Amino acid sequence: MYSAEKQNELYQLSKQLLAANNGLDLAAQVTALHEVISYHEWRYYVLNEPVLSDFEFDGLFSLLKRIERENPALLSPNSPTQRVSADLIENFNTVTHLSPMLSLENSYNSEDLREFDARVKKLLNLPAEQDLSYCVEPKFDGGTIVLYYENNLLQRAATRGDGAKGEEITPNAKAIKTLPLQANFTQHTLQKVELRGEVLMSKTEFERNNLQKQKTGEAVFANPRNAATGSIRMKDAKEVSRRNLDVFVYQIAYAEDENGVNDLARFGTHENSIQLLQNLGFKTPKLNTERKVCDNIQAVIDYCNHWEEIRDSYEYEIDGMVIKLNDIALQKRCGYTSHHPRWAAAYKFKPKQASTKLLNIEFQVGRLGAITPVAKLAPVELAGVVISSVSLHNEDLIKQKDIRIGDTVLVERAGDVIPQIVKPIADLRTGAEQILVFPTHCPACQSELERAEKEAVWRCTNTLACPAQQLGKFIHFASKDAMNIDGMGESICERFYKLGWLNSLTDVYKLDFSSMQKLEGFGKRSADKLKIAIENSKQNPAYRLLYSLGIRFVGRSVSKTLVAAVPKLQDLAKLSAADLMKLEDIGEKVSAQVVAAFANPELIALLDELEALGVNTSRLDSELPKVIAADSNLPFAGKTVLFTGTLSKMTRDEAKIFAEEAGAKIASSVSSKLSYLVVGEDAGSKLTKAQQLNIPILSETEFLALIGK
């Protein structure tokens, strides 16, 4: 439906529209919003692979509604606000629902709920002080299902579809054990009934299914929602049965009696209708523990707040609560818009946050001398992960947020991925908290720190003797992204460094393996394995060696560009800054660092010695640049991508290969020319700078979705 290039364009346009000043006039915004909302509906409902968070999508929809409300001339019949979302899949037969299924209007706080209550009273011509009864239920995060019963038998099950039509999934629905295949509706004089519900996988079953998949070598489910929605569209109903799904039924949408009359008001209240379903054997939210009838809007607010606090202890994933006017006759009087019922609303929970104690702030010394403050926290579980350390990036951020040692702080996993301190809770201060005094000297070597103009980072300039920097260089040299020496990880490098075996990078290729075998916990097998890995690293492409040297601003992508320009690494000493800046993506800062590095005779001597030890320093044919056709339809054709933080679904190498296969060029640093920054856990200054430059930010999941992985 959408080409990869078009998807990239619409994603970037979405981020632009979400910005406070997007640079578009109102008419252009409306046109753009029509297009991007339709695209995101397709990704969410059809592919089940959203590339925006629910909050961001809601922001786009709210923006369009506001513009249309304030500028009626811009409202058109084909606006997304005038229809419901699309969800049709070609693999299943399309069926028509007996009653159209609309979306729900979202609310995010108590003020929104009070406004909803006021609107309902206005529609009903009721005084503002009169209380209304509402039924409040969990907003399940699974796959919507529409069920049709006739003469007590389940005749058909379908997906939500476009609200009017859906895809028939009857065999899969019948495989779900919690769904009755028959129910005695006729004892209530009902012949044809259409129900709405949610297919879910419990957290327990999610863990069981993933454990089984790991044992058989299959790809695991990303989350319970994807597991549920993917399961109901499977072609093998037996596999659906094995996954132990649940169906919660939460509404009677159509109820025709023996005379052919459809009248939901016969039930009196929504609560009565749910109780009837429960009595007939359907799984429904339990009264007073999961669903509750609230006598007024304040009780609704209190119940929503209660559920927001206990959501993580619930066996199923929920992302909010659903509020429905309880009296069905009053529902009918309120009516509907083309998008949502006026008598119901969804209350969306806030992003997952937790408070904890900031115990201390420690300082890490990077291999290039950067001093990074790291907050040490009292361990706190957040979005399924225990957080005990959070990067504070730099001194300026700490001052800006007024973070103090001893503070109770609010921690959030941004996008449920990157832990960060949102703010200190100043009201809980006792006076014992300490304002951070940033060190003036390196914590590793006591050398004086320097901070370059226009930089936020303090650095240790003792590049030759600082033990933390020296150790960091060996760790970097042996890492997967650099020389990829398997078995020479951080702990081994530290051990060899403390033993005095590593003083120069050339020492990696002079290790005494007979002595190594005698080390406690090592042995001949480990020594032999490491020896093979070191020997294999000698044949690496030259760009890996260049990257492993740890020259500032010279990442893997820049290394590849530089190596492609010269036959041999040592030849880079012959190029001036002007020569280097003629190369693609090489700017003034990079060229200055490269010129300075290769002007140092010690570096040339190091490369010569490595070459004498058998390490490749010459360009391979495979390192010459590959030409991508200008009319390429690859997802990231013509785009530059940079990765930062720890990736959980793939290695950094795999991520870069995926990006390059999708047509991207891998950038070495954040600049205004960067197309996308892909962030993993513990993203640092690159994320901060990208946000300042309004560079589009992608989570790991969003990146994989855009490239179709």
Active-site residue, from 15, 65, 122, 139: 139
Residue 623: half-sphere exposure toward Cβ, Cα within 13 Å:
26
637 with 663: CB under 8 angstroms?
A: yes
490 with 475: CB under 8 angstroms?
A: yes
Burial 256-289, CB ≥16 within 10 A → b, else e: bbeeeebebebbebbbebbebbeebebbbbeeee
Backbone torsions φ then ψ of 335, nearest 5 degrees: 80, -160
Amino acid at 193: V
| Whole-angstrom distance, CA of residue 539 vs CA of residue 616 | 6
Token pair for 402? 């007024």
Return all residues near 228 (Cβ < 8 A) that are at least 6 apart.
142, 143, 199, 200, 201, 245
677 with 664: CB under 8 angstroms?
A: no
From the list 121, 122, 59, 45, the residue with the least C-alpha distance to 88 is: 45
Quick check: helix, strand or coil at residue 216? helix
| Whole-angstrom distance, CA of residue 503 vs CA of residue 654 | 31
* Torsion angle defined by CA atoms of residues 334, 338, 344 and 349, in that order, rounded to the nearest 10 degrees: -150
Q: Is 686 a catalytic residue?
A: no
| Whole-angstrom distance, CA of residue 610 vs CA of residue 642 | 30
CA angle 340, 342, 347 (to 5 degrees): 75
CA angle 111, 331, 302 (to 5 degrees): 35
Token pair for 571? 């030849």
Positions marked active-site: 139
